[in-house]
Structure 1
């Protein structure tokens, strides 16, 4: 493969020395052609027309030290060599017009000559891929040396540098741990999701949509994304959080987009609004699915154009905010039902992450238990812990089908708060745990509404129709009603399977609870999504 170098003529450094004395001076464009281990087949030499005579001298000298090197002239307008915009535009025009053949040639971009502005532009254009090659940096030899100087080839693919790649990996691991709140989680799907979210958080400013059931930790995750971005210098403004479920009518417009004095009854002064307050920062719109269609339309334009009109105002204002949206609703279904704008959903659905319920990641119950104990201890000012028997009892119950964790991590937080408060000497005993289990069972029993076993038609007729229901024996109706009831109370087939097969699943080497539920429902022509 041939080697081609793209270089700007050094109007100062390449002109050093007069007559034969010029060979006693280090001239970067000449010297890079004098290295035995750097064979340059072609040199694309860029210069202003005013330097044509110097370019001809340089080409003649290169023919003496490296006759195999072809020197090709390119006149580039550097009328304002210290103006960044002008130089960048000139070099970009050259790069777009040049016919690169990376399959046949390798390219080196020489960044030693030219003004500092030009060197920066060459670096940026190479990093962006307009020059598909590596950087070439040259320097003079040490004093009293007859060598033609030194050179270094720099590959901008940083993953090829072990030390840099190691630092990137460590930074990624630290960011991932930060997003998880320092909790050593074990759920593989959750861990993979957080690892990707860390990359997105520091590399992208596009909207992020976080979905999942209430209490799964959407607000806490948004807070950590904001703090991570601020640590990495990706934003400098503040975090503005709003629960869209609390916004209705004029209050929604005013709260989000601001208003002018007198815009409506009670508007006694101007109000900037939350979008304006989030300028240069991050706006977290929790429960975005609760916004009205009018607010959704204004929000879409604000996301795309960073401009909006306050309520009652004649002119627009701007706000360069970043957005994270949260919801526990199925926005796709809401859009189909006309309750959520499809164009807004398309705009915020670029990066979507679903936070699983606590019931779906019971392998993370123990590390989250320790986290909540530590948090409570910090607030209380003294250490609170579970003794061995108490921990065993609590974890066994928490992982059993009897534990629904209907409010997810809020249930866990409240449970630890109660036990920590009742623990004498900061030691949570088996008796304290037993009392808490009864309290949780009673709470979850009242929130669950199983079907009346004598009337399975209330559950099954909407799914099977009258004819389908009547075709089943009453025994089958009762069984199917129980299955449907469990599926309705579960957020996934895996969770339903853990409840339905709580004994037999422990006898299997590998559990595929979702598949067993799918087979049961398929017998009756049903799918889990139908029940949900």
Structure 2
């Protein structure tokens, strides 16, 4: 076997390698001993020293090595380090030297000698070897057991490629399996796509602090998974702060700004005292913004700044505050379409789209229904102190229905959890019977039939009134015939055009974005929801009145 020659890299030991008198040969000197190892000759030694005052000692060591190993090429290199205990100076000098060195790993094997030099130098050598800027193994020399014998002592080689150590690799694999099981709450899921997804999420959760975007239908487990990721990071000592969760669909107008970014006293009517805000509360931890697609444009702009700079202005304040949080965002919307429609900022989407995971709904994972049933039954038993089990025939019947195409599972795991809770609660003597299963499957069919098509909307085409009122009649429907008749024709026609847009929108913010899509481009400060709210108040209307009054009139 062709053994490649050795190049060793190390610092001159100004203390351990010192001595230029005849007695130096009775002293153990690490740089000299490195080249005296029997059976492992060093063909080249890159001996680094940090000041002109050490040149004479370096040349002495060079000559001593030449006296017993003339074939060893000792190359002296002066590194411009003023303070060998300054981490920045030492690391920078070594980094620059490593990047200028002509490495040839196909021809040479490299040893990084970490016995000599300051502790700072040894740490820097370790870090550069671990990151492969120094493509070699660590070499550690130690003195002989008996002093004054002139023996070279011991040499230990340490390869930092952990994949070479089977026992360590097995421990890493076990730790990863435990982490993946934790993210899945110990549920032995069988769906290959979902399992691969969770495997990758585990690696990202423990290695990255970048934003993560979780997409998928309502009830697919986005909030649950975000909370488990935060718990995993806390157990690994990756975060010290708390997990802060907020549903962006509940945030509107000034309240959205205040809730997220905080406010100063007097920033708006009702701001009686300072408020820190949720972003500040998540400092050092994880912020989960569920339904991020519901945020208004102003909140999106401020959130982008907070993610990129870790700083933002509370509402009404002229002083920035800092918060170092990791963002996990959730949405059931397709943000690509929202960006194309101008409802979501493209730069914010790009910023949160580094790690995007689409969680499949329950209907797309029929093989995972059975282990989730077992998990939910065990959870019910621990919470209620009462065990419930399926009769074998009842279990088979429920699984046949649950895994069939007939089972829509529109609410996903929320539907399944509610179903198992009902069955376990009504189980007499802890036994779920076939009659109960038949009643429960009938209930689920009824539930999904009321929800309409796949969108889950309760106001789909089949449930819409046979004759929805014409748009021109809507002002009269909401204001009453007399108030509507008292309006100028201009106001009545404009209001008749605005109301259908409101009825088709999921929130006041969305309606405002659609109505003011063009004029908002010319405004520096934009608050579409507030602008729409003030317009409706001219007619004595509120968002809640419109949603209640127009319910079922149009298809969202």
TM-score by length of 1: 0.82
- Between the aligned partners of 2:271 and 2:132, the Cα distance in structure 1 is 53
Q: 1:400 aligns with which of 399, 404, 410?
A: 404
Q: How many pairs does the alignment contain?
A: 452
Q: 1:436 aligns with which of 440, 443, 454?
A: 440
The alignment status of 1:124 with 2:127, answered yes or no, reads: yes
Q: 1:27 aligns with which of 20, 29, 32?
A: 29
Distance 1:293 1:452, change over 3 A: closer
- Between the aligned partners of 1:153 and 1:429, the Cα distance in structure 2 is 66
Shift of 1:172: 0.7
Q: 1:96 aligns with which of 96, 99, 117?
A: 99
Structure 1 runs, 4 residues or longer, greater than 6 Å off: 450-453
- Between the aligned partners of 1:126 and 1:293, the Cα distance in structure 2 is 47
- Between the aligned partners of 2:359 and 2:323, the Cα distance in structure 1 is 29
The alignment status of 1:419 with 2:423, answered yes or no, reads: yes
Mapping of residues 49-448 of structure 1, within 5 Å: 49-143=52-146, 147-448=151-452
SS at structure 1 position matched to 2:17:
helix
CA deviation profile, 1:135-178 (whole Å, cap 9, x unmatched): 11111222377642111222221111111111111111111111
Of 325-334 and 384-393, deviating more is: 384-393
- Between the aligned partners of 2:198 and 2:453, the Cα distance in structure 1 is 34
Of 379-388 and 279-288, deviating more is: 379-388
SS at structure 1 position matched to 2:23:
helix
Gaps of 5+ in 2: 455-459, 463-556
SS at structure 2 position matched to 1:142:
coil
- Between the aligned partners of 1:223 and 1:352, the Cα distance in structure 2 is 16
Shift of 1:421: 1.2
- Between the aligned partners of 2:453 and 2:352, the Cα distance in structure 1 is 35
- Between the aligned partners of 1:200 and 1:230, the Cα distance in structure 2 is 14
SS at structure 2 position matched to 1:43:
strand
Shift of 1:452: 8.6
- Between the aligned partners of 1:136 and 1:301, the Cα distance in structure 2 is 47
Shift of 1:396: 0.9
- Between the aligned partners of 2:44 and 2:347, the Cα distance in structure 1 is 52
The answer to whether the Cα contact below 8 Å between 1:49 and 1:76 also exists between their aligned partners in 2 is: no
Of 42-51 and 180-189, deviating more is: 42-51
- Between the aligned partners of 2:253 and 2:238, the Cα distance in structure 1 is 34
- Between the aligned partners of 1:148 and 1:352, the Cα distance in structure 2 is 56
CA deviation profile, 1:75-96 (whole Å, cap 9, x unmatched): 1234322222232233223223
- Between the aligned partners of 1:408 and 1:288, the Cα distance in structure 2 is 20
SS at structure 1 position matched to 2:110:
strand
- Between the aligned partners of 2:319 and 2:63, the Cα distance in structure 1 is 64
- Between the aligned partners of 1:210 and 1:303, the Cα distance in structure 2 is 17
Q: What residue number does 2:39 align with? A: 37
The answer to whether the Cα contact below 8 Å between 2:179 and 2:202 also exists between their aligned partners in 1 is: yes
Shift of 1:218: 0.5
SS at structure 1 position matched to 2:365:
helix
Shift of 1:246: 0.5
CA deviation profile, 1:174-224 (whole Å, cap 9, x unmatched): 111111110000000100111111111101111111110000000000011
Shift of 1:239: 0.1
The answer to whether the Cα contact below 8 Å between 2:27 and 2:150 also exists between their aligned partners in 1 is: no
CA deviation profile, 1:409-450 (whole Å, cap 9, x unmatched): 000000011111111122211121111111111111111259
SS at structure 1 position matched to 2:404:
coil
Shift of 1:23: 1.9
SS at structure 2 position matched to 1:424:
coil
SS at structure 2 position matched to 1:404:
coil
SS at structure 2 position matched to 1:14:
coil
SS at structure 2 position matched to 1:240:
strand
SS at structure 1 position matched to 2:156:
strand
- Between the aligned partners of 2:330 and 2:453, the Cα distance in structure 1 is 27
SS at structure 2 position matched to 1:175:
helix
